[in-house]
Amino acid sequence: MDSKSVPSLKGRIKKTKGQQKIEMKKVNNERYLQVTFSKRRTEIFKKASELAPLYSVDLAVILFSPCSRFFSFGSPNMDSFIQHYMMQAPSPTLILQHHGRA
């Protein structure tokens, strides 16, 4: 194949930015905070649902929104995850820490 048959990329402008790494930083604008949280929550739960069967593990994710709403994901489900933990733990104490706003 000679160079004349290969189309030139000179002068072409890429219309999209493509897939880029997004810098993780604190969102200070209250208006965008909830929207950003909702998007990230969806991504985290999706990734958790992919990893659990891939590695044959039981997995639980617990999130608190900026408004202190509770969201959870469990594989196979949160109830079975907690039951399994309670049977394995030396004491029936489950400690959850909430980091963020009071």
CA angle 64, 26, 66 (to 5 degrees): 25
- With a CB cutoff of 8 Å and minimum separation 6, the contacts of 59 are 48, 51, 52, 73, 74, 75, 81
| Domain boundaries along the sequence of the chain | 30-88
pLDDT in tens, 30-66: 888 888 888 889 999 999 999 999 998 888 899 998 8
pLDDT exceeding 90 applies to what percent of the chain? 21
pTM: 0.57
Tokens of 91: 């004491």
Homologous superfamily in CATH for domain 30-88: Transcription factor, MADS-box (3.40.1810.10)
For residue 102, the model assigns a pLDDT of 46
